[in-house]
Amino acid sequence: MANTIISFKNVIKKYDDEAVLKNVSFDIEEGRFYTLLGPSGCGKTTILRIIAGFTEATEGDIDLEGQRVNDVPANKRQVNTVFQDYALFPHMNVFDNVAFGLKIKKLSKEDIRKKVKEALRMVQLPGYEDREINEMSGGQRQRVAIARAIVNEPKILLLDEPLSALDLKLRTDMQYELRELQKRLGITFIFVTHDQEEALAMSDEIFVMNKGKIVQSGTPVDIYDEPINHFVADFVGESNIVSGEMIEDNLVKFVGKEFECVDSGMRPNEPVEIVLRPEDLTMTKPENGKLVVTVNTQLFRGVHYEIMGVDEDGNEWMVHSTRKAKEGSKIGLYFEPEDIHVMRFNETEEEFDARLESYDD
Ligand SMILES: Nc1ncnc2c1ncn2[C@@H]1O[C@H](COP(=O)(O)OP(=O)(O)OP(=O)(O)O)[C@@H](O)[C@H]1O
Ligand SMILES: [Mg+2]
């Protein structure tokens, strides 16, 4: 079993009287890649700042490697941060930026030179030592910022939206590079993003945040396949979400029809919300469909067509298909019972996990 390297216990952070972190608890295991995912202002940077020691929690405990560190200053923690704006020293060249932390630690000139060289090699900037920061592209600066952090061989690396300034192609390349780097170094990474695709692609574990709380944590597949509520279903991936009611175990009603499903453990006739992912809907003839929609619009997305249709109750449905549909035509939508994901209102993560586990028995 891996070691817990960071632990938050009922952490509250208030600015003035407003709580921006509301009772946040989690454990982070050594050597894994974690992502904090959530909309702007939900508290992601605040969590990183508390881990790094730049901000104090108002209430609660923070442990690093089993020791309470609430009162331990930032420079005594084995944590390095790549900030949202990189925060490089613009008047220094690449070497001096990367070497900064090592000089403070008073390593020998020879050791510093070797370590900087190695760090630049890892971020694929070999030989860039003498380059000035203002002579580098955004993507290169970002990699210098990462080199400056990993050169200190921290146990924990915090990365605050490090890829947000990059174009799509470089961003995807850097996602691979970072993931490789993390595996190679075995450092615990905590990566912040509000980009759900990035979170799904990179992480061992995702914490989905909203309004100062972690609303769901799990592997990318868990979060995508079994979102706990409307917010997560909507924020992570494309979703069709409609309201309905749970008639009984394994039978749910929406859009005026009853459908077999695999969910259970709700009250009879409990109001629920239903998620169907666009890629789980198959286009078929109207008479073979479980639902019938009229096609409104379709967009070509490269890999698939994104087709928008509307059912007889006026609900919109998004379908991903490699086949085209005809605007204005009626199409059937087919799906299997396991494609239906039923969500309860106000279910806690503990209740949700317990209910999901009972399906496996
Ligand atoms: N020093 C501060 N004083 C007052 N309020 C602050 C301070 N720092 C952050 N906040 C507030 O705390 C909340 C959380 O901020 P935080 O920077 O953690 O969000 P975030 O999830 O990182 O957002 P973004 O994706 O925009 O970077 C926000 O409402 C923000 O306005
Ligand atoms: Mg932030």
Least confident of 160-169, 198-207, 285-294: 160-169
CA 21 to ligand 2 centroid distance, Å: 13
The residue nearest atom 17 of ligand 1, judged by CA position, is: 45
Say how many Å lie between the CA of residue 41 and the centre of ligand 1. Answer: 5
Which tens digits make up the pLDDT trace of 92-130?
A: 999 999 999 999 989 999 999 999 999 999 888 999 999
Relative to the alpha carbon of 209, which ligand is closest? 1
Which residue's CA is the closest to the ligand 1 atom numbered 5?
15
Give the pair of three-digit tokens for residue 113.
């030179």
Q: Ligand 1 site: residues with CB under 6 angstroms?
A: 15, 20, 38, 40-46, 194
Q: Could you tell me the end-to-end alpha-carbon distance of the chain, in angstroms, rounded to an integer?
A: 24
Task: For ligand 1, atom 31, name the residue with the nearest CA.
Answer: 41
Considering every ligand atom shown, identify the ligand nearest to the alpha carbon of residue 160 and give its number.
2
Q: How far apart are CA 156 and CA 78, in angstroms?
A: 7
Kindly tell me if the per-residue pLDDT of 361 is higher than 70. Answer: no
Q: What atom of ligand 1 comes closest to residue 209's alpha carbon?
A: 21
Joined together, the tokens standing for residue 223 give 């979060």
Query: How far does residue 82's CA lie from ligand 1's centre (Å)?
Result: 17
Cα 218 to Cα 216: distance, rounded to the nearest angstrom: 7
| Closest C-alpha residue for ligand 1 atom 4 | 15
Structure tokens at 180: 């490789």
The angle subtended at Cα 209 by Cα 203 and Cα 211, nearest 5°, is 165
How far does the centroid of ligand 2 lie from the alpha carbon of residue 315, in Å?
35
Residue whose CA lies nearest to ligand 1 atom number 22: 45
* Position 86 confidence tier, pLDDT thresholds 50, 70, 90: confident
pTM, two decimal places = 0.90
In the chain, pLDDT over 70 holds for what percent of residues?
Answer: 99
Q: Distance, CA 245 to ligand 1 centroid (Å)? A: 38
Ligand 2 centroid to Cα of residue 54, in Å, is 14
C-alpha of residue 134 to centroid of ligand 1, in Å: 29
Please report which residue ranges of 19-132 form alpha helices under DSSP H. Answer: 44-52, 94-104, 109-122
Nearest to 194 by CA among 32, 43, 26, 20: 43
pLDDT band at 356 (very low <50, low <70, confident <90, very high): confident
Q: Given ligand 1 and candidates 15, 21, 85, which is best to mutate, with the most ligand atoms within 8 Å of its CB?
A: 15
Look at the block and give the residue holding tokens 């709380």: 213
Nearest CA-CA partner of 216 in 350, 29, 20: 350
In this prediction, residue 296 has a pLDDT band, given cuts at 50, 70 and 90, of very high
Question: Relative to the CA of 48, which ligand 1 atom is closest?
Answer: 18
Ligand nearest to the CA of 46: 1
The least confident of 5-19, 155-169, 228-242 is 155-169
Residue in 34, 26, 44, 8 with CA at minimum distance from that of residue 206: 34
